[in-house]
Amino acid sequence: MTAFVAPHVFPFTLAALVMVGLVVVEGVSLLIGHSLSGLVDGLLGHEGGFGHAGLETSADASNAFSPASWLSWLNVGRVPFLVLLIVALAVFAISGFVLQAAAGALVAPLPAWIAGVVAVALTVPALRTSSRVLARVIPKDESYVITADDLIGTTAEVTLGPLDDGLPGQVRAVDRHGNAHFLRARAAPDAPAMARGERVLLVDRADAVFLAVPAGPEL
């Protein structure tokens, strides 16, 4: 243990201890059903922090030396921030230990600050590479939420009709995720009446009522 608290390796030992602590805390939080990583990303995103969308639309994102550009280059926003921090600490610690061991075997260990600068220089590209791999394998949040306007242009089946210019009827539409929606609808202006069971095309929406026309054979 004395070797790990020596001045020339202490920064790397500290980084390793923080990394282990974060892993333990994240593991415990997952066991109780509240991911610390998700909480951190939520806080950063809601405060205009490191969300990917915020990076892409930032006014200074076009500046190659801006913080937003660097964070985007490191894939912050595509990979949970806490995961990136854990990886960065691990790479920094390993790089420092290897560097000091090699320097000690050749001549003598480097001063801690010099070794730290070199370790950071090694960590940045390694973090870039590892974050690109993690972005491909970490599950992404998927949403099946759609808006009413997303259903315009879809075909539907009249379930309560006929659809004409009178009281609205009802149609059954299926969204792009395969979910069925029962919607109020009436015939669009100048469209003929559409009987129950007929296929229709939703072409517009007036408040909560969709406007439909007969669906051609090609639909």
Confidence of residue 24 (pLDDT cuts 50, 70, 90): confident
Domains and CATH numbers, the chain: 2-137 (no CATH), 148-214 (2.40.50.140)
Residue 67 token pair: 């913080």
Instruction: Return the closest-CA partner of residue 185 out of 67, 1, 196, 135.
Output: 196
pTM recorded for the entire structure: 0.51
Q: What's the pLDDT at 3?
A: 67
For 155-209, how does the pLDDT look when each residue is reduced to its tens digit (9 = 90+)? 999 999 899 988 899 999 998 878 888 999 999 998 999 999 999 999 999 888 9
Report the C-alpha gap between 80 and 50 in whole angstroms: 10
For 34-50, how does the pLDDT look when each residue is reduced to its tens digit (9 = 90+)? 666 666 656 555 443 44
Q: What's the pLDDT at 170?
A: 94
Q: What's the pLDDT at 89?
A: 92
How distant is the alpha carbon of residue 137 from its chain centre? Answer: 12
Q: Are residues 61 and 50 in contact, defined by beta-carbon separation less than 8 angstroms? A: no
Q: Tokens 């020596």 — which residue? A: 6
- Per DSSP, 112 falls in state H
